[in-house]
Amino acid sequence: MLQASRGTVKPSGNFNASADAEVLHKAMKGLGTDEGAILQLVTARSNAQRQEIKAAYKTLFGKDLIHDLKGELSGKFETLIVALMTPPISYDVTCLHDAIKVGATVVTVKSENQPFWSHTANRVSLCRQKFLQKYDRSLEADVCGDTSGHFQRLLVILLQASRQTGIQQELVESDAQALFKAGEQKFGTDEQSFVTILGNRSTEHLRKVFDAYMKLSGYQIEESIQRETSGCLRDLLLAVVKCARSVPAYFAETLYKSMKGAGTDDNTLIRVMVTRSEVDMLDIRAEFRRLFACSLHSTIKGDTSGDYCKALLLLCAGDDA
């Protein structure tokens, strides 16, 4: 089954970009704004259709739709709607640039919202091209200017988007042994072995290595990474392992962490709901229910409010209570 078919947001049938542009214009003209009309329409169109609506809006009214939306909306609801109206690659690139610009690459890794380890190789390559085109400098250069050590090396490897493909059966046992010798069996830790193997092998291959590692050491690879590494390198290694095991489970955990406890990490919540709504949100919902014994829908409802909450629930598109 194609992963894209597991999204909650699908292209609208009988789509008419000009008619939708008219609806949005009507919702924003005059006194007051019809936020309900905006959120209902935007969350019921695919990103490709939203780009057509933006073009039709410019043709019909001679104005930029994003500019008008920013003028009429505010707060987290504005951030969410603008994110939904932005092409996916442009959205990734903006998020990456903002993280690097404020020197927050480490924080961004901890909030688990960078695209390096969850996107396809093609998507990462497109991000690199778009970043260079938009900011006239390479993403790799900016990342290297903001990071160091093994953490930097792993980020650079992931940025190359050149993971091996398939399972190299003859390397499964030796990779597991190399990881064991680099960590549990060594005084100190050979971080480079973790970086090289986790950064370059395919996800299918890594899952075999994790199984072999468990048989060899008696530990899950995550347990060893927790013990043997620290800081942002540990967070990044764990993110790579979790994505290799299951991308939907990784994002279910990311969403849970963004809402649990005091306060909400709205940047992460928005990013995941926007970027996964057309990809695998149905699977993320199922993993959320399995991992946390509550539904994503009920968690969002209990943690957010107003039009922001309504729009997020429409992206979630169902309660797995």
Write down all domains in the chain, each with its CATH number in brackets. Answer: 17-86 (1.10.220.10), 89-146 (no CATH), 170-245 (1.10.220.10), 247-316 (1.10.220.10)
| Rounded (10°) CA dihedral 305, 311, 313, 318 | 160
Q: What is the pTM of this model?
A: 0.91
pLDDT surpasses 80 at 114: no
> What is the DSSP-derived secondary structure letter of residue 153?
H
List C-alpha distances in Å: 112 to 192, 269, 290. Answer: 22, 11, 20
First to last CA, the chain: 25
What is the C-alpha separation between 28 and 228, in angstroms, rounded? 55
Q: To the nearest whole percent, how much of the chain has pLDDT over 70?
A: 92
Type of residue numbered 67: H
Is 258 in contact with 111 (CB distance < 8 Å)? yes
Tokens 């620290």 sit on residue: 230
What is the C-alpha separation between 141 and 267, in angstroms, rounded? 24
> What is the DSSP-derived secondary structure letter of residue 6?
G
pLDDT digits (tens, 9 = 90+) for 12-70: 999 999 999 999 999 998 778 999 999 999 999 999 999 999 999 999 999 999 999 99
List C-alpha distances in Å: 132 to 88, 128, 138, 160, 288. Answer: 16, 6, 5, 14, 36
| Rounded (10°) CA dihedral 207, 272, 233, 219 | -30
pLDDT digits (tens, 9 = 90+) for 227-277: 988 888 898 899 999 999 999 999 999 999 999 977 899 999 999 999 999
What is the C-alpha separation between 315 and 309, in angstroms, rounded? 10
Say which residues have a Cβ less than 8 Å from residue 43's Cβ, sequence separation at least 6: 9, 84, 311, 314, 315
Say which residues have a Cβ less than 8 Å from residue 287's Cβ, sequence separation at least 6: 246, 248, 249, 251, 252
pLDDT value for 101: 64
Beta strands in the chain (DSSP E): none
